[in-house]
Amino acid sequence: MEQEIINRLQAHEELLQKVYISTEKTRKYFLWTFYATFALFVLPLVGLMFAMPVLLSTLGTAYGF
């Protein structure tokens, strides 16, 4: 009886380790997805925030506004 409990505990420990590894892989995937979203969406918006006044100023002087 005692050996059966030990075997079950070892099996649960192995399964728990596999779940932990899978969770860590998922966490890293979400982290890299966040980085990609930030780099491809947020940074261009910040760049536009600085580029739009220059562009509008250039267009304004070109058309005499």
Q: Kindly report, residue by residue over 16-62, the tens digit of the pLDDT.
A: 999 999 999 999 999 999 999 999 999 999 999 999 999 988 988 88
| Structure confidence at residue 63 as a pLDDT band (50, 70, 90) | confident
What are the structural domain ranges in the chain? 1-65
65 pLDDT exceeds 80?
Answer: no
pTM of the predicted structure, to 2 decimals: 0.63
The predicted pLDDT at position 5 comes to 95
User: What are the DSSP calls for 35-56, one per residue?
Assistant: HHHIIIIIHHHHHHHHHHHHHH
Quote the pLDDT of residue 49: 94
The CA-to-CA distance between both ends of the chain, in Å, stands at: 90
